[in-house]
A and B are shown apart, each in its own frame.
Chain A
Amino acid sequence: MSQKKTWLAAGLLGAILAWSTAWGSTPPPVAPATVPVPAKTPKAASKSTVDHSKLKELQKKFASGPEVTKACLNCHTEAAKQVQGTKHWTWEYSDPKTGQKLGKKNVINNYCTTTISNEKDCMACHAGYGWKDASFDFAAEDNVDCLICHDGTATYRKLPGDAGHPVYERKEFPHGSGKFVEAVDLQKVAQSVALPRRSNCGSCHFYGAGGDGTKHGDLDSALKNPGKYLDVHMDAKGLNFTCTTCHATAGHQVSGSRYAMTAAQTGPAHIRGKADASPASCQSCHGDKPHKESILHAERLNTHSDKLACQTCHIPQFARDSIGTETSWDWSTATQMGPAGKPIFVKDSAGRRAFDSKKGNFAWDSYLVPEYRWFNGHVSYKAKGDVIDPACTVEINHPDGEPGDADARIWPFKIHRGKQAYDTENNYLLVVHTAGEDDTALWRNFDWQKAIATGMQTAGLPYSGKFGFVSTEMSWPITHMVAPKTDALGCAQCHSANGRLQDISGIYLPGRDHSRLLDSVGWVVVLLSLLGVLIHGGTRVVLHFKHKG
């Protein structure tokens, strides 16, 4: 009887165990916390609650961009006001540290130099319509350009010279090239609006400074449809991130800025959970201890995060494609004419601009090794009117940060070098009126004096009448084109003599650094001891045989 009971109990227990393990073995799928949801591929069926092609407001022929915007604002009542609060609209930024007025409206860059007096050309990349001079109305809501970011057809294009308006009539571009840009079908574009894709952001950010890949080096049109090699996150067949996956927006405010970067984020991954941290940083998804391979190696790598930006190892090269990036722009040779006294345009062997009578000499390169700098996220600028020292290379912008700063990390940079016009009496960089149809535009009349006079007048700065050229450089932190981890830098690429961080000061880098004195003394002692035992032993051997003999 008791035996029977025991069997019964055992059977019951077994059944319970089997049942519970069956349940336990199928846990609900848990999404890994550190991997953000990949962006939807464009072809997937839209989950939007609105099909814009069915909206009555959009069933008409639009004559201009502002007309489309008016239609958009019928429903999206706050959109224009939101955009008008962003840098995409104001092109203005006030440095909270210095109060200095920055932004594209005020700074001088190392490429086309400045937007001042050249608005009609530059505003091809402004998220608005009609900014051709200082009279532009920043409050007019229908001047906001919704389509440049939300065009889902990839047919919407804005060209230099149109002050930010799209192509309304078929047009030869570049002028005299025999190539034509078709007029945009605004109705079709308006009915096909979508969340921004890589090509939307790229329509400006890939082509900065007038050509594909020219400016950034880590952003070019290859990122429209990149492979894993070029960008592990944007890999079109893989994670397929769009720009906004990282540069998350709220109320049209795009996170992540060149003017105030998050250079040294610490702590675990938070993705979108932490309001005071930039979502456009590697750490926001990966945390500051992301390495998980063998304990020995992962531990070492994770402790590097207090000195190195992720980008330093994980973007071993930038411009990793045939498009390449411009490395130098020398304005001092602009206005030099060809043999027939006519302006000329010379391409390099890869078909990129090498010399242009309008603009001077250029140099390009692909697969570039970054230069490394300590960087705390703050960038100091030489904006218009700031005094320079023409005896030295002018750093148009300078990444701040000292070794040992808790906020500073070693970052990879593209350094773009060049020469620019400066006022030899007043010692500041000159604002040059380059683009325009008038008689004083440099690219029309090839007369520096007239172009400078107009530029400086527009900028509201005195011009002494004397100009020269000064060497300049501009630093661009590299943060896109993140390579797959198998392509990341190996230890010895920095931990060796003449390694990548050869010029980085303020740290002791094993494999690179040593004390010459200590090493000399050490080796002398080692050699002397070796010599001593050899002499001692040799003497013993000699005497031994002598004794025998």
Chain B
Amino acid sequence: MNAPTRIYLYRRYERFWHWSQAVLVIFMLVTGFEIHGVYQNFGFQRAVEYHTLAAWALLTLWAFTIFWQFTTGEWRQYIPTLNRVLAMVRYYAYGIFVNAPHPFHKTAGKKHNPLQRLAYVTLLAMVSPLIWGSGFFYLFYGYWKDFGLDRTISLEWVALAHTAGAFMMLTFFIVHVYLTTTGHTPFAHIKTMVTGWEDAEAEEGAAGKA
């Protein structure tokens, strides 16, 4: 007779931030790979302009989000842990196929499973600096000379670093989107990310016990 418990996992700003970031990142991947010469859609000039605009928008969003993370203390959600990582790996490699209980239970204080934490921290500590750093230099290429930077860095390396970052982001995107389907229903995680509420009643573990 467990009363259905719903937990409020993602607050309004968090959801706004997540989805606008998603849109911007997808848009930047689309325009970025066009600039890279992979295909033609907007045309080179428009692709560059849109990419630049989206970069500024994302930068602004990040500024607010960093502020939000620290004022709410939510930044702690990203502290990596190795605790029960193996259990998570075992779950994705085997348990998920045999309806084994999910080894991790979300709470408002711990929204991300250990693997998620590792993935997000990698994104924050490696991929983002790579993309933002190279993107920043790329964007202000015309001003390198004013700071004598043209003698120390080359556009080629900046561009290649940026491209490498884009491939990493695309890979993250694919895996991230797939993993949203691993909730108790294929759309459960997405629903949570939209409404903010997670249905605790239907969690695998709870269902198994019932």
Residues in chain A within 8 A of chain B (CB atoms):
294, 296-297, 299-300, 302-304, 306, 490-492, 495-497, 507-508, 510-515, 518-519, 521-523, 525-526, 529-530, 532-533, 536-537, 539-540, 543, 547
Chain A contacts for B53, CB-based, 8 A: 296
Q: Of all chain A residues, which has the CB nearest B93?
A: A536
Residues in chain B within 8 A of chain A (CB atoms):
35-37, 40, 43-45, 48-49, 52-53, 92, 96-99, 141-143, 145, 154-156, 159-160, 163-164, 166-167, 170-171, 174-175, 178, 181
Chain A contacts for B45, CB-based, 8 A: 297, 490-492
Bound form: Cα–Cα A508–B162 in Å: 13
Chain B contacts for A302, CB-based, 8 A: 142
Cβ contact within 8 Å between A537 and B178: yes
Chain B contacts for A529, CB-based, 8 A: 171, 174-175
Cβ contact within 8 Å between A514 and B36: yes
Cβ contact within 8 Å between B35 and A511: yes
Bound form: Cα–Cα A304–B181 in Å: 47
Cβ contact within 8 Å between B44 and A492: yes
Supply 11 A–B pairs (Cβ within 8 Å), ascending by A.
Answer: A490-B43, A491-B44, A491-B48, A492-B40, A507-B155, A508-B156, A514-B37, A518-B163, A522-B163, A526-B170, A526-B171
Distance of B51 from chain A, by nearest CB (Å): 10
Q: A491-B45, A507-B155, A533-B178 are in contact. Are A299 and B142 (CB under 8 A)?
A: yes
Cβ contact within 8 Å between A496 and B37: yes
Q: Of all chain A residues, which has the CB nearest B145?
A: A306
Cβ contact within 8 Å between B167 and A296: no
Cβ contact within 8 Å between B49 and A513: no
Distance of A220 from chain B, by nearest CB (Å): 32
Distance of A351 from chain B, by nearest CB (Å): 40
Bound form: Cα–Cα A512–B96 in Å: 45
Chain B contacts for A526, CB-based, 8 A: 167, 170-171, 174
Distance of A217 from chain B, by nearest CB (Å): 28
Cβ contact within 8 Å between A533 and B175: yes
Distance of B47 from chain A, by nearest CB (Å): 9
Q: Of all chain B residues, which has the CB nearest A522?
A: B167
Distance of A132 from chain B, by nearest CB (Å): 53
Distance of B57 from chain A, by nearest CB (Å): 13
Distance of B39 from chain A, by nearest CB (Å): 11
For the complex of A and B, list the 4 residue pairs with the smallest distance between their C-beta atoms, beginning with the closest.
Answer: A303-B142, A522-B167, A533-B178, A508-B156
Distance of B128 from chain A, by nearest CB (Å): 17
Bound form: Cα–Cα A297–B171 in Å: 31
Looking at the complex, which one of A490, A492, A508 makes contact with B159 (CB distance below 8 Å)? A508
Chain B contacts for A522, CB-based, 8 A: 163-164, 166-167, 170
Cβ contact within 8 Å between B37 and A306: no
Distance of B43 from chain A, by nearest CB (Å): 6
Cβ contact within 8 Å between B97 and A540: yes
Q: Of all chain A residues, which has the CB nearest B143?
A: A303
Distance of A149 from chain B, by nearest CB (Å): 42
Bound form: Cα–Cα A539–B166 in Å: 29
Bound form: Cα–Cα A548–B108 in Å: 33
Chain B contacts for A497, CB-based, 8 A: 37
Given contacts A537-B181, A547-B99, 5 further A-B contacts (CB under 8 A): A299-B142, A491-B43, A513-B156, A514-B37, A526-B167
Chain A contacts for B155, CB-based, 8 A: 507-508
Bound form: Cα–Cα A497–B39 in Å: 11
Looking at the complex, which one of A492, A519, A521, A539 makes contact with B97 (CB distance below 8 Å)? A539
Distance of B181 from chain A, by nearest CB (Å): 7
Q: Of all chain A residues, which has the CB nearest B51?
A: A296
Cβ contact within 8 Å between B36 and A511: yes
Cβ contact within 8 Å between B160 and A518: yes
Bound form: Cα–Cα A521–B156 in Å: 17
Q: Of all chain B residues, which has the CB nearest A490?
A: B45
Bound form: Cα–Cα A510–B36 in Å: 6
Q: Of all chain A residues, which has the CB nearest B158?
A: A508
Q: Of all chain B residues, which has the CB nearest A525?
A: B171
Q: Which of A302, A304, A519 has the most CB of B within 10 A?
A: A519
Q: A522-B164, A526-B174 are in contact. Are A508 and B36 (CB under 8 A)?
A: no
Q: Which of A297, A497, A522, A523 has the most CB of B within 10 A?
A: A522
Chain B contacts for A532, CB-based, 8 A: 175
Distance of B48 from chain A, by nearest CB (Å): 7
Cβ contact within 8 Å between B163 and A519: yes
Bound form: Cα–Cα A196–B65 in Å: 67
Distance of B53 from chain A, by nearest CB (Å): 7
Distance of A97 from chain B, by nearest CB (Å): 25
Chain A contacts for B49, CB-based, 8 A: 294, 296-297
Bound form: Cα–Cα A62–B139 in Å: 68
Chain A contacts for B159, CB-based, 8 A: 508, 510, 513
